[in-house]
Amino acid sequence: MKILHVALSLSPRCGGPTLGVNELARYQALSGLDVTVFSTNTDYPRGILDVPVNEPVLNNGVRHHYFSVQFGPLLVSLPMAAELRKEIKRYDLVHIHGLYRFPSSFAALLCRIYNVPYIIIPHGSLDPFLYYQSSRNVLAKRIYEILFDLPNLNAASAIQFTTTEEKARAKFLNIRSPGLVVPNGLDWTRFESLPPKGAMRKRLGLENQPIILFLGRINFKKGLDLLIPAFSEVAEHIDNAVLVIAGPDNDGYAEVVRKWTAEHGISAKVYWQEMLYGREVLEAYVDADVFVLPSYTESFGIAAAEAMACGLPVVISDQVNIWAEVVHSEAGLVVKLDSQDIARAIRSIIEDKQLAKQLGNAGRKFAKRRYAYDRIVEEVTRMYETIISAKPPVSRYVCDARVVHKK
């Protein structure tokens, strides 16, 4: 089975979606599939990746093609367009990651023209919170959507959602293509043998203080405006507690968050870490006492799943779409988008060591059982086989972008 993944970028700064493409492709190759990945060489939000461009690179059994970009805002890549036009008919199925940019839109359009089955994974962009997020370019986005992405979504072989909640939240668009749920995966070899405790504490000059960890992109949707006052309240009751904020600041949002910490008088208790890589990520999880992700929207929440895999109890908002799994597995506490609710949950875990241990152990067991890539690849392969075995229509190239939705 020949599979092509089309991704907007493979920059680590893009977070979970990038990690997901790379690891899924690698595990698919290990399972015997013939896998290729097309992506731009963009290192979001600025710069380019240090990779060969416009030529194939073999990595872990996967052929990667990084293409240069000629128009940054839409990631327009003429070399990618030429290669897609030449090669796309050779694949049994195309797995498209993301929306609202040239690589995904053009790949889907070619699939429709040449009757190649394709799946789109929207990575949360169809959640109403982000869909209706106001911006200066909202009109241009809607025009682009009507011309390209809605026809592509409606003609897709399937839309892959990573949670049942994400699928439910996209219903307002009335997309005609079937929605299938397959979660993101974890490379369990990373979590099988965890690093010893203490590395991050030593790096930050911390001793036995309770550590509250936020790990992810520093972004408006992550609920940091709720976490800062929540931590301020926690600090009033647990004097030696500290907050570690770790992740890339792609949009300059960290400066806003720093102002909030100053306004609440907690700047000295907040420790900042830039982008963490590899073992550093695991060291952060094993040294922390509780992981917090109070996002306004999160299609999956890979950082929360990683924290669970490390045995770290989690506090997440009910807008993080794996909240039901966290409740069911008893891996952590789910809160409303309310700073006092967040503070109460954090305190209950820090102040009750037995509860923290129970939540952590349950989360680790659940993460291995549900998210390890061995199982995920089996689910994705079955999805591919079902789609490929279905007889395709005479043409997938339809311009009907009709959709009914209400704000």
CATH number at residue 180: 3.40.50.2000
pLDDT at 402: 41
pLDDT of residue 13 exceeding 80, the answer is no
- 37, 63 in Cβ contact below 8 A? yes
Which is it for the CA torsion 274, 275, 279, 284, positive or negative?
A: positive
Residue 220 is part of which domain span? 190-370
Tell me the longest C-alpha to C-alpha distance in the chain.
Answer: 68
The reported pLDDT for the residue numbered 160 is: 97
Q: Is the pLDDT of residue 326 over 80?
A: yes
Q: Quick check: is 109 in a domain?
A: yes
The pLDDT of 301-317, averaged and rounded, is: 97
Query: What would the 3-class secondary structure string for the chain be?
Result: CEEEEEEEECCHHHCHHHHHHHHHHHHHHHCCCEEEEEEECECCCCCECCCCCCCEEEECCEEEEEECCCEHHHCECHHHHHHHHHHHHHCCEEEEECCCCHHHHHHHHHHHHHCCCEEEECCCCCCHHHHCCCCCCHHHHHHHHHHHHHHHHHHCCEEEECCHHHHHHCHHHCCCCCEEECCCCECHHHCCCCCCCCHHHHHHCCCCCCEEEEECCCCHHHCHHHHHHHHHHHHHHCCCCEEEEECCCCCCCHHHHHHHHHHCCCHHHEEEECCCCCHHHHHHHHHCCEEEECCCCECCCHHHHHHHHCCCCEEEECCECCHHHHHHHCCEEEECCCHHHHHHHHHHHHHCHHHHHHHHHHHHHHHHHHHEHHHHHHHHHHHHHHHHHCCCCCCCCCCCCCCCCCC
Say whether pLDDT at 229 is over 80: yes
Any domain includes 381: yes
**One domain for residues 380 and 363:** no
Per-residue model confidence (pLDDT) at position 293: 98
Structural domain contains residue 101? yes
Average pLDDT across the chain, whole number: 92
Token pair for 47: 């710069």
Residue 14 has pLDDT above 80, yes or no: no
pLDDT: which is higher, 140 or 82: 82
Does 225 share its domain with 102?
no
> Rounded CA gap, 70 and 396, in Å?
28
**The pair of three-digit structure tokens given for residue 196, joined into one six-digit string:** 């010893």
Q: 356 and 381: one domain?
A: no
Residues 364, 372 contacting (CB under 8 angstroms) = no
Q: What pLDDT does 388 receive? A: 95
Tell me the pLDDT band of 337, cut-offs 50, 70 and 90: very high
Q: How many domains does the chain have?
A: 2
Whether 85 is covered by a domain: the verdict is yes
Predicted pLDDT at 98: 93
What is the distance between the alpha carbons of residues 399 and 264, in angstroms, rounded to a whole number? 53
- Identify whether residues 355 and 383 lie together within a single domain: no
- Report how far residue 406's alpha carbon sits from residue 263's, in angstroms, rounded to the nearest whole number: 39
Q: Is residue 407 part of a domain?
A: no
Distance of CA 303 to the CA centre of its chain: 8
Q: What is the pLDDT of residues 235-291, one digit of tens each?
A: 999 999 999 999 999 889 999 999 999 999 999 999 999 889 889 999 999 999 999
Indicate if 260 and 167 belong to the same structural domain: no
Query: Are residues 121 and 215 located together in one domain of the fold?
Result: no
User: Do 162 and 260 reside in the same domain of the chain?
Assistant: no
Asked whether residue 47 is domain-assigned, the answer is yes
Question: Is 69 a residue whose pLDDT tops 70?
Answer: yes
- So what's the pLDDT on residue 12? 81
Residues 158 and 194 both lie in one domain: no
| Residue 406 in this model has a pLDDT that exceeds 50 | no
What is the reported pLDDT for 391? 57
Q: How buried is residue 209: exposed, middle or buried, by Cβ count under 10 Å (0-12/13-18/19+)?
A: middle
| pLDDT value of residue 134 | 52
User: Mutual orientation of helices 16-30 and 373-389 as an angle, nearest 10°?
Assistant: 80
Q: Are residues 246 and 173 in the same domain?
A: no
Residue 235: phi and psi, rounded to 5, are -65, -25
User: Which residues touch 65 (CB under 8 Å, ≥6 apart)?
Assistant: 36, 37, 38, 39, 54, 55, 56, 57, 80, 83
pLDDT of residue 392: 57
Is 228 domain-assigned? yes
Of all residues in the chain, what percent carry a pLDDT higher than 90?
83
Q: What is the pLDDT of residues 114-161, one digit of tens each?
A: 999 999 999 988 998 887 775 557 778 888 888 999 999 999 999 999
Q: 197 with 115, same domain?
A: no
Share of the chain above pLDDT 70, in %: 94
Token code pair at residue 179? 């929605």
Is the per-residue pLDDT at 45 higher than 70? no
Tens of pLDDT, residues 169-200: 999 999 999 999 999 999 999 999 999 999 99
Check if the beta carbon of residue 66 is closer than 8 Å to that of residue 39.
Answer: yes
pLDDT at 74: 92
User: Which conformational region is residue 163 in: left (phi greater than 0), alpha (psi within -120 to 50 degrees), or beta?
Assistant: beta
Using pLDDT thresholds of 50, 70 and 90, give the confidence band for residue 398: very low
Does residue 45 fall inside a structural domain?
yes
Statement: residue 18 has pLDDT above 80: no
Does 281 lie in the same domain as 143? no
Specify whether 123 is located in the same domain as 218: no
